[in-house]
Amino acid sequence: MSNGAFPHTVSVDTITVGIGPVTIDELVSVARYGAQIRIADDSREAITASRAIVEELATDVEPHYGISTGFGALATTFIAADRRVQLQQSLVRSHAAGSGAEVDREVVRSLMLLRLSTLLTGRTGIRLVTAETYAAVLNAGITPVVREYGSLGCSGDLAPLAHCALSIMGEGTVRDASGELMPAADALAAAGISPVLLAEKEGLALINGTDGMLGMLSLAIHDLEKLITTADIAAAMSVEALLGTDAVFADDLARLRPQLGQGASASNIRRMLDGSPIVASHKGPDCTRVQDAYSLRCAPQVHGAARDTLTHATLIASRELASAVDNPVITLDGRVESNGNFHGAPVAYVLDFLAIAVADVASMSERRTDRMLDPARNQGLPAFLAHDAGVDSGLMIAQYTAAGIVSELKRLAVPASVDSIPSSAMQEDHVSMGWAAARKLLTALDGLTRVIAIEVMTASRALDLRAPLAAGPATGAVRDRVRIDVAGPGSDRFLSPEIEDVTAAVASGAILAAAASVVADLY
């Protein structure tokens, strides 16, 4: 989503954040739709108890990391009590060193929600007023300007989180709920929020977490669940349009290889094709088709592998959502301990893994689109599905667009998590690059959405060109939904707006909803 105002659709009006984990659906409600946050009572008690431990250690003559010392390579430098407020403020200011384009509002809100969730576990030693101010900024729709570059995904997403911490200090630049760019001090004043003067440990607690990469992973999981099912829908439409067979999607064949994702995708495609007059038209003894091309026949295997990858990523995300990531951390028995839980490797790996799956699903989709446009392979349809081939080019260049996106997705599938680079005078000598993995995954998801949309648009035209044979009930419902925005076959016209309209329908779930209106239990 853009950096403008919130959309009007709200999934959940209010969520309660406490010691337990935030769910992905709750995260999407806050990040994308502006749901409000309420702090649970048990978190208020836990925060008060852990803060008492920090304040006691602050009076100790012995140094304690993050409380009375410097940070990173300066961890052995003792800081006197009268300079610790300056220490925390300086930490945030110096670490708010991002560069590049603004990060989307929903990404910033997701990372802020997840940082707040960790603060509310009572394991960071932060003051209650600081957590309350952080929640108030989110509830007011104030979104700090976070830049694209700055996180190495270790010691947390330091720069992005520091930009957010800066805003509750009344510093830096933010966008208000309407999307207007303004100084943080002005936005806080307009919302009636008092800036926070950070105390011992708080600056570190506000910036030391995997929240940025985890927020993007959670958003990606939410969106990819819909996209993989929409890819099944598109594949079914292409199989039908290309006079392919539905026999290969039989349940007993899928069970011979009990991969769960494959079984789900095969079921979706099989049921999307159920009752299709086009499929029935070539099932008789006169049909000479023995085997369809891999991009048709093996769609459940590829889509299913993506499903199983998504299942694994969801498991990792659920564990991370239940984590309290900070360094040092206040343990349940009251110790203050340094640790390495801020390292983003678990999240970075699955972000890279999903980018591979996204590229492959898109690659197969583009191959089906190309097949429908080629008169040597499209089973009697016009070249490029053109109205008057030669005079008209039909959807020729729509396939170019899909091919260009797929090529980009292959480059985005190169792992970021293997590209560690040392920092902080070699104290932080191995990093996850999880933030970079997350940024490229979100770009890849946008590409997949567009490639699937082009396949759906192409298949819809191909099904129309099979007249007088009719599409099946489910595929026909999807074709009819496309026709709300895009006219049927005819002379060449301006294609770009049509591609954008169908892309929006895929992204919003409208294509999935059209199919589900006939096949109610799509996986």
Closest to 228 in 3D by CA, of 518, 519, 506, 521: 506
What per-residue confidence (pLDDT) applies to 61? 77
- Alpha-carbon distance of 117 to 131, in angstroms, equals 9
CATH superfamily, domain 14-209, is Fumarase/aspartase (N-terminal domain) (1.10.275.10)
Q: Give the distance, in angstroms, between the CA of residue 301 and the centroid of all CA atoms in the same chain.
A: 23
For the chain, what is the total number of helices (H) and then of strands (E)? 20, 9
Element (H, E) at 93: helix 84-95
What per-residue confidence (pLDDT) applies to 3? 61
Percentage, residues of the chain above pLDDT 70? 96
Mean pLDDT rounded to a whole number for the chain: 93
Beta strand segments in 91-245, E: 99-102, 143-144, 147-149, 173-175, 181-183
5 pLDDT more than 80:
no
Q: Which residues in the chain are classed under CATH 1.10.275.10?
A: 14-209
What are the beta bridge partners of residue 375? none
* Catalytic member of 65, 134, 149, 523: 65
Task: Return the SS3 of 16.
Answer: strand
What per-residue confidence (pLDDT) applies to 424? 72
**What pLDDT, in 10s, does the model give residues 138-181?**
999 999 999 999 889 887 899 999 999 999 999 999 999 999 99
Element (H, E) at 349: helix 345-373
Query: Are 394 and 325 spatial neighbours (Cβ–Cβ below 8 Å)?
Result: no
Residue 134 among the catalytic residues: no
What per-residue confidence (pLDDT) applies to 7? 45
Task: Return the SS3 of 183.
Answer: strand
Tokens encoding 87: 């220490």
- Alpha-carbon distance of 103 to 114, in angstroms, equals 16
For 208-225, the DSSP string reads -SSHHHHHHHHHHHHHHH
What per-residue confidence (pLDDT) applies to 42? 94
Taking residues 477-492, report their average pLDDT.
97
User: What count of other Cβ atoms lies within 10 Å of the Cβ of residue 370?
Assistant: 18
For 51-81, the DSSP string reads HHHHHHHHT-SS--TTTSB--GGGTT-B--G
Q: Give the distance, in angstroms, between the CA of residue 503 and the centroid of all CA atoms in the same chain.
A: 17
What are the beta bridge partners of residue 17? 39
Taking residues 340-357, report their average pLDDT.
95
Please give the model's pTM, rounded to 2 decimal places: 0.94
What per-residue confidence (pLDDT) applies to 6? 43
Tokens encoding 98: 């991002």
Lowest mean pLDDT among 69-73, 246-250, 295-299, 383-387: 69-73
9 pLDDT more than 70:
no
CATH of 217-516, one of 1.10.260.40, 1.20.200.10, 3.40.50.1970, 2.20.25.240: 1.20.200.10
Query: Are 272 and 214 spatial neighbours (Cβ–Cβ below 8 Å)?
Result: no
94 pLDDT more than 50:
yes
Q: Which residues in the chain are classed under CATH 1.20.200.10?
A: 217-516
